[in-house]
Amino acid sequence: MPESILLDITTVIVLGIGAQWVAWRFRLPSILLLLIAGFLAGPVFGLLSPASLQGDWLFAFVSVSIGIILFEGGLSLRLSELQAVGSAVRNLITIGVLVTWGLGAFFAHIVMGFNVELAILIGAILTVTGPTVVVPLLRHVRPRGRISTVAKWEGITIDPVGAIIAVLVMETLLLIHEPAQSGGHTGLSAAAEHVVIGLGLEVFVALGVSVAATFCLLIILKQRMVPDFLRNPVTLMIVVAAFVISNVLKEESGLLTTTIMGIALANQPYAPVQRIIEFKENLQVLLIGSLFILLSARLNLGALDFITIESVIFLGLLVILVRPLAVFLSSYGTQLEWEEQAFLAWLAPRGIVAAAVASLFAYQLRNIYPDEVEAVVPTIFFIIVGTVAIYGLTAAPLARWLGIAEPNPEGILFVGAAEWVRHIAAFLHEKGHEVHLVDANTDHVRRAQERGLPAQRANALSETVLDNLDLSSTGRLLITIPNDEVASLTALHFSEVFETTDIYQLAAQHESRHSKQGEMPKHLRGRPLFGETTSYAEIEDHFDQGGTIRAFDLHEDGGLFEDGGKEYYTYDDLQEQTGEISVFPLFIERDGELVIVSEESNFTLRQGDTLIAMVGAGERVHLVEGGDSSVFFFNEPESEASAASSASNEAAEDPPESNPT
């Protein structure tokens, strides 16, 4: 028996993590693979016994896990974001929920044939979407502006709202069919009284427990009452304790409690929470994978009998009619444009909360509705799979068609904002190219902002950085940090958003220009940035010695090259032409687009190109007017006055700073 339990636990973990890795590798919605993996492991192949997953222990684990997931989601919400979208979010979690609930219940009764009571319960369950499905979809689509904020806030806050409504409906059904719970009082008046009192208690308990728990946690963190290695475990302990206390005082109020705790902790100025956020992100991956595997493995093959043409019609009505109507009614009177409303109307995938609540309620109502309740869970799971598939496959093309997402974003995101990086970014910015900078160093970010560059302080390895950055117009990632291991982890982290062909990374700083010994394996790195042997230390050293960024035109008569007339020039041609001069080719402007210099074997300069490069100190170029075109030649130094003027201007523009790395 212990060996069997151990095998079950191992199977859940392997399938949960493995399915998410496969989904990342092939850019598929992870929930689809998780549900399929769980169904195959359970009723199909019997790796997990559905009969062993029917106990109360499973729902206790599911309930606590969802509370932790919602706490992590709350940590990504900033109250400052509501200044522009607060009314839209408020309407979506009130008017939108009521519309979805009412119409969902109506069609569940008319189309699916559920009795009125179960139809009302199904409508309540289907009001939730969830961060586990919405946030990854937003990362993939990368919509511009406030629409991403609205969708994120709705996806996180609607989970506890919808879950509380569903719980109140279920309790009402139990009250009606089991009068002993209400002291013998039945009827609509007793049910209405129960709902009103229950809702008030849910909010009161959630607010009280969340405030007390958050205050306790802040005191512990601010006063450094625990060592660093215990900060995350203690935080998890308090979150779980607050969740359980809330649920003991009032059933299912724990979801609202942990969500409020996450939001409060993310918006307080007293204690840092970045390490807590990173810990919860890693824990969330394990929890989500395990939950979906366990819940889908509980199904049996007979569940497929409940997937009928009526189920397909029900799904179509939810997608085509219910969600658009809920969004448009909620958006009336807000500042959302019609394109933003249309995108939101096509974004309502259901997630883990719907699956968990449906499974729990079907288990608790099995004695009241012995026949019909068996169809509830398969119906909800079908809606989850259907909505994730529909929105996951069509949201990105729709966003591009509506003009709220770039079809081919060309902007550049620099991870790292050291002085030489800021000079390069400023040069590109002045030439009209879109750039963004991210750095954990506050001084770097401040200096970049002083130069008019879009810069943001953030930890590039944090999961929330993908949510907080506006990447709608950004298509290339340039990792310009000195630590090669951290740079490689950053490349892997951002591969969730960027194509691997658009992620670039400098060579390891400890490597010489002609040695690759000791570098990270290629599959763990981004593409070579500025050449396969250009390291952070080397390019920083040349910049500190006075290196400058210059642009060189390649005209029809050769331009940069003495032997003009070739159709194109390679990296070796450039090195041969420049001789001993220190030249780091960085970018090529070609037909209005910016090409990043990467593999030396792919480096080509063509007629009409402009090469952007860093030229070493004392090796500046001299402009020679020749015929109808301007020709640039290397190794002709500037006058001392010109060089001094250039150095003086750069020093005034960006004063010296200490190296924080």
More confident residue, 524 or 249: 249
Please, which pLDDT band fits residue 251 given cuts at 50, 70 and 90? Answer: confident
pLDDT at 602 over 50: yes
Residue 12's alpha-carbon distances to 374, 395, 529, in angstroms, are: 24, 30, 40
Report pLDDT for 261: 92
Tell me the per-residue pLDDT of 557-577, one tens digit each, with 9 for 90 and over. Answer: 445 555 555 666 666 666 655
CA-CA-CA-CA torsion for 327, 332, 333, 335, nearest 10 degrees? 40
pLDDT at 244 over 90: yes
* Superfamily name with CATH number, domain 411-653: NAD(P)-binding Rossmann-like Domain (3.40.50.720)
Contacts of 385 (CB under 8 A, 6+ apart): 31, 32, 35
Report pLDDT for 512: 42
Q: 102-106, 226-230, 254-258, 341-345 — which is least confidently predicted?
A: 226-230
CATH class held by domain 2-402: mainly alpha
Q: 57-61, 277-281, 512-516 — which is least confidently predicted?
A: 512-516
List 613's β-bridge partners, or say none: 550, 585
Please, which pLDDT band fits residue 233 given cuts at 50, 70 and 90? Answer: confident
Rounded to two decimals, the pTM is 0.67
Mean pLDDT of 121-145: 80
pLDDT at 486 over 60: yes
For tokens 């009280």, the residue is: 208
| Alpha carbons 422 and 298: distance in angstroms, whole number | 55
Report pLDDT for 575: 63
Work out whether strand 568-570 and strand 604-606 pair parallel, antiparallel, or are unpaired: antiparallel
Q: 146-155, 171-180, 339-348 — which is least confidently predicted?
A: 171-180
Residue 397's alpha-carbon distances to 140, 400, 402, 467, in angstroms, are: 11, 5, 9, 20
Q: Give span(s): CATH 1.20.1530.20, the chain.
A: 2-402
Tell me the per-residue pLDDT of 329-377, one tens digit each, with 9 for 90 and over. Answer: 999 888 888 888 999 999 888 887 888 888 878 877 888 887 788 888 8
Report pLDDT for 562: 52
What tokens appear for 507 in the block?
């060579």
pLDDT at 300 over 90: no
Report pLDDT for 407: 60
Mean pLDDT of 3-32: 82
Residue 280's alpha-carbon distances to 3, 101, 258, in angstroms, are: 30, 31, 13
Count Cα neighbours of 196 within 13 Å in the Cβ-side half-sphere. Answer: 6
Number of C-beta neighbours around residue 111 at 10 A: 18
| Alpha carbons 6 and 461: distance in angstroms, whole number | 33
Residue 66, SS3 per DSSP: helix
Core vs surface per residue 393-409: b (16+ CB within 10 A) or e: eebbebbeebebbbeeb
For tokens 């041969």, the residue is: 576
Residue 270's alpha-carbon distances to 221, 239, 342, 439, in angstroms, are: 9, 18, 40, 22
Mean pLDDT of 325-329: 94
Work out whether strand 455-457 and strand 435-439 pair parallel, antiparallel, or are unpaired: parallel
Report pLDDT for 626: 34
Q: 414-428, 461-475, 529-543, 581-595 — which is least confidently predicted?
A: 461-475
List 615's β-bridge partners, or say none: 548, 583
Q: Give span(s): CATH 3.40.50.720, the chain.
A: 411-653
Indicate the average pLDDT of the chain. 77
Report pLDDT for 628: 36
Report pLDDT for 231: 84
Tell me the per-residue pLDDT of 76-119, one tens digit each, with 9 for 90 and over. Answer: 777 877 777 888 889 999 999 999 999 999 999 999 999 998 99
| Alpha carbons 485 and 345: distance in angstroms, whole number | 42
For tokens 């339990």, the residue is: 5
